[in-house]
Every structure is written in structure tokens, then in C-alpha cells.
Amino acid sequence: MQYQTITYEVSQDVAVLTLNRPDKMNALTTQMRAEIQHAATQAGSDARVLVITGAGKAFCSGQDLGDRANAASVDLERTLRDEYVPMLHAIINCPVPTIAAVNGPAAGAGANLALAADVVFASESAYFMQAFTRIGLIPDAGGTYALPRQMGTAKAMGAALFADKISARQADDWGMIWEAVPDAGFDAHWKAKAAHLASGPTAAYRAAKEAIRGSWDNTLEEQLALEARAQGKCGASRDFKEGVMAFTQKRPAQFEGR
């Protein structure tokens, strides 16, 4: 697929998907959503970690309201169902760890695109904003699911109703993201973290992702059973044997790629 609105590069088992409409603050269009979905799906075969970031000064400003001639008449239910949902599923269900490297403002659907990743790093000058009520809408693109789970109902409700900017530092303090990082070292930091995951036990990462994401639908007993099954598979793997051997020999483990 020839990408027009993103770039997609793979190096040393790290796939980097860059939203590439810097003149529009990387606002999402129909074409961009399709390209993100394709690249996120491809990353599961191409790499051992996927990073999503933005070109220029923004991560993503959300839906491009100029994408259609009359934005107010767009069937938003269809757009979410047919365009956003497949894109989000491609990120959430990616079989390798996913990182959102939020290099600047992440607003509306752009904020929730970031929150679909497994781990979110944000530069300290970045911010998140659930901007939807400013134009008479509710948070979408998975926002009403992710926000209360990541930072609690009270903070999620305030973020949705007031549509205020949430600084990267606040997002870190509230448990909305993994880490706020000083701007000066931001790129080097997320690249080092991506490299770490790319050299790790990919199958165990995949099992951990599935177990944690699935826990919301399970009772305690169901989750304990899921853990036991997943751990049994991991315990029978070459990676487990290699990890134990490396530990006893006091050397770095050499994990398999899949």
C-alpha cells in the first residue's frame, strides 16, 4: 500500500508509524484512518514493537472537520463504526507491544488514538484534550472506555465535560499515561524503550497484553484460570528456558522474535 498521510518504517524490529500531515496538526481523515489500520496490521508481521508518533509539532489534533464538504451532515455513527473501530482494533489487537510517542498536542480522537496503545510516553510540553463537548459531541474513538479505566471515573468525567487541556505531567500523575518525559530527551527516550521491547520475549508480551486487556470482562476465578493457561504456554517456551539460563549465567537473555 502506498501511504499518503503517514510514513511507515521498520528498522531493527521496530516499526515506526508517523502521522504525516504536519500542516494540519496530523488531523485524521478517512484516508489516514485506513492507512493507520493497514500499517498497524502490517506491523504484527514486520516487527516486534510498533511506535505511533506525529510529524511536526503535534501528535494528532483529532478529526479533520474539513475532510468532507459539509462536516455537520456527516453520519458520525457510520464513520465511527466503519472507519474508527477497525483502526482502533488494529492497534489494540496488534500482536506486538504498541507505544504512542506523543510529541505534541493530542486532542479529541487524536488523544484517544494515543490511549489505544499499550504504553504512552508524552513529551512534557504535550497535552491531551477531550475536545468533543466544544462542538456538541461526546468523547469517542474509545475515549469513554479508556479514560475511566486509566484514571478513574471522577477524572474521566471532568475531562469529558470540561474539555480542558490535561498536561503531560498531569496525565502521568493521574495514571492516564505511562510517563511524561522532558522534551530535550524525548525522542531518545522512546527509541530506547522501543528497542528494549524489540529485544524482549515477544510471545510473553503478547500473552500479557491479552490477559490484562481481557481482565475487565472476567471474574477473579476466570482471570486466574486465564493466567494459569497463559503461564503454562509461556513456561513451555524456549524464551522461558533461555531467560532462566541467562539469569543463572548472569548474562543478557537472547529471546526469540516470536
Q: What are phi and psi of 204, to 5 degrees?
A: -70, -40
- Who wins on pLDDT, 183 or 256? 183
Q: Are residues 147 and 235 in the same domain?
A: no
Q: Are residues 92 and 213 in the same domain?
A: no
* CATH of residue 179: 3.90.226.10
The set of cell numbers assigned to 50 is: 510498533
Residue 161 pLDDT more than 90?
Answer: yes
The pLDDT value given to residue 66? 83
What pLDDT, in 10s, does the model give residues 110-159? 999 999 999 999 999 999 999 999 999 999 999 999 999 999 999 999 99
Q: What per-residue string of b and e applies to 154-178 under the rule 16 or more CB within 10 Å gives b?
A: ebbeebbeebeebbbebbbebebbb
How many structural domains does the chain have? 2
Q: Are residues 132 and 224 in the same domain?
A: no
Q: Are residues 144 and 21 in the same domain?
A: yes
Residue 206 pLDDT more than 70?
Answer: yes
Q: Are residues 113 and 223 in the same domain?
A: no
The pLDDT value given to residue 72? 57
CA torsion angle for 177, 178, 182, 187 (degrees, to 10)?
A: -100
Q: Are residues 168 and 233 in the same domain?
A: no
CB 97 within 8 A of CB 197: yes
Q: Are residues 90 and 212 in the same domain?
A: no
The pLDDT value given to residue 73? 58
Q: What is the pTM of this model?
A: 0.93
Angle 210-213-215 from CA coordinates, rounded to 5°: 100
What pLDDT, in 10s, does the model give residues 39-51? 999 999 999 999 9
What pLDDT, in 10s, does the model give residues 61-111? 999 988 764 555 578 999 999 999 999 999 999 999 999 999 999 999 999
Question: What range does the domain containing 216 cover?
Answer: 202-249
